[in-house]
Amino acid sequence: MSESDFEAPPIGPDAAGEGAPPGPPPPPENRHDEDDRLKSEFVSEVVDRLHGGDIDGVRSLVEPMHAADIADLFELVGRDDRPPLAAALAGLIDGDVLAEMNDWVRDELIDELSATQVAEIAGELETDDAVAIIEDMEEADQRAVLRALDPDDRAAIEEALSYPEESAGRLMRRDAVAVPEHWTIGQVIDFLRAGEEITTDFWEVFVVDPAHRPVGTCLLSWILRTPRRIAIADVMKREQTLIPVDMDQEEVALRFQKYALISAAVVDQAGRLVGMITADDVVHIIQEEASEDILRLSGAGEDDINEPLPQTVRRRLTWLIVNLGTAVIAAAVVGLFQGTISHLVALAVLMPIVSGMGGNAGTQTMAVAVRALALNQLTSSNSIRVFVREFRIALVNGACLGLLLGIAVSLIFRSTDLGIVIALAMVINNLVAGIFGVLVPVTLEKLRVDPAVSSAVFVTMATDVMGFFSFLGLATLWGLGG
């Protein structure tokens, strides 16, 4: 392993950390903690050397690192330290490092580079990684980089950029290996061995007809396990999962997961092979999409700890103002019952319990429904069944919680009437939570709105409004405030 080739770097005059005597850097196997993250001691060591102007010391620490770890290092140091770190590591930051880097951190770094430098880095990369770097740049910068690329790379990247964002066309590599159907295994092997233009890392060979439409696929392991004289048509698998070039990346990811794919052919509208997508890119997408849903459900949108502050504030504030609107509506419902409350202040004490518990139950149901929708588990075939299921859960939970709270309130406030009212309100609000928790995401999905983005605001509004209304309304009817 290269790590054993690691040598202690020369120690600069200011390289020592707080109070630590100058000495060799920690051995590289100590860079990571048990969870595979860079240790904070290692990060501070790098930062200390950087601040001390010990460029050689920084480089010798970073040089043996994997591209993904160098990318992590940039995310972990402070924002102000990133440009000097990039300067210190000139030559070590290649396309692989940029491809692994958090989008926000990368954009900042790329702003510091010239178009020629970016073009040089993009030129080294596979099309999909180069596109990932270039697609986020501003129009003018993008054009400058494209001009600086060599014509072949430029054509490939421009074509990729012509597909919609987050589509298979952006995600794919264009260097899929294709062979004609009439070849033998021997011919395929000779072609692979001789072909100058063939990419180095691939997992299957696509068999195509004369119009370049895929007719089958052959894993490299099958080729290696078969005698040379056999025809590839006899070895290949004819059924294969084809990815349309304009398919959304989330659907691509679900298809990879569903059919347990390692790589898959991408075809254009005429059914011609135009590229391939590999599982390593999909792993990224799945992680991204699934964790985006967590953020969306909570109203934090596409938030990321590396995003610039003003953008984060704007997005979160917009969402909070929408929520403020629904909170005001809920408060207005309370306002309807001021008379009742002024006669029995205990109602004001107890009402947040009813609304809050409805909110909790609604959030549970909603999260289950949003996840089932995202995984294609919840479809029109079973939505009624799922609805009934959640209704029954809500009934049982509401009855249990209502009973518990009703008895406690009866004892503490010495009022059976108040106990009965809060128990009934709890049952009603749990049913509201169960109904809206399924109905809202399913309806939004039908309307082609992302259920993860806006379900919470509707569900919480329903449980707040109905929590206050049922509790205070029942109390008024029962004559508790009279």
Number of H helices, E strands in the chain: 21, 6
Structure tokens at 450: 């992302």
Member of 16, 144, 178, 295 binding a second copy (CB under 8 A): 295
Separation between Cα atoms, residue 171 and residue 365, nearest integer Å: 34
CB nearer a second copy, residue 182 or residue 392? 392
DSSP string, 97-147: HHHHS-HHHHHHHHHTS-HHHHHHHHHHS-HHHHHHHHTTS-HHHHHHHHH
The distance from CA 401 to its chain's CA centroid, rounded to whole angstroms, is 36
CB nearer a second copy, residue 146 or residue 394? 394
Member of 30, 114, 116, 382 binding a second copy (CB under 8 A): 382
Q: Candidates 38-46, 53-61, 87-95, 117-125 — which segment interacts with a second copy by CB under 8 A?
A: 38-46
- 65 lies in the site for a second copy, by CB under 8 A: no
- 436 lies in the site for a second copy, by CB under 8 A: no
- 202 lies in the site for a second copy, by CB under 8 A: yes
Q: Candidates 8-16, 17-25, 268-276, 300-308 — which segment interacts with a second copy by CB under 8 A?
A: 300-308
Single-letter code of the amino acid located at 395: L
Q: Candidates 12-20, 108-116, 145-153, 378-386 — which segment interacts with a second copy by CB under 8 A?
A: 378-386
Member of 161, 279, 420, 424 binding a second copy (CB under 8 A): 279
Separation between Cα atoms, residue 148 and residue 143, nearest integer Å: 9
- 50 lies in the site for a second copy, by CB under 8 A: no
DSSP three-state, residue 146: helix
H or E element at residue 460: helix 451-477
- 317 lies in the site for a second copy, by CB under 8 A: yes
Least Cβ distance, residue 154 to a second copy (angstroms): 25
Residue that has been written with the tokens 């409350």 in this structure? 341
CB nearer a second copy, residue 115 or residue 361? 361
CB nearer a second copy, residue 341 or residue 428? 341
- 352 lies in the site for a second copy, by CB under 8 A: yes
H or E element at residue 278: strand 273-278
CB nearer a second copy, residue 90 or residue 230? 230
Separation between Cα atoms, residue 260 and residue 254, nearest integer Å: 10
Separation between Cα atoms, residue 428 and residue 467, nearest integer Å: 8
Site for a second copy in 399-428 (CB under 8 A): 400-401, 404-405, 408
Mask of contacts with a second copy, 462-481, x by CB under 8 A?
--x---x-------------
Separation between Cα atoms, residue 302 and residue 293, nearest integer Å: 9
Member of 118, 207, 370, 428 binding a second copy (CB under 8 A): 370
DSSP three-state, residue 117: helix
Contact predicate 223/185, CB 8 Å: yes
Site for a second copy in 173-192 (CB under 8 A): 189, 192
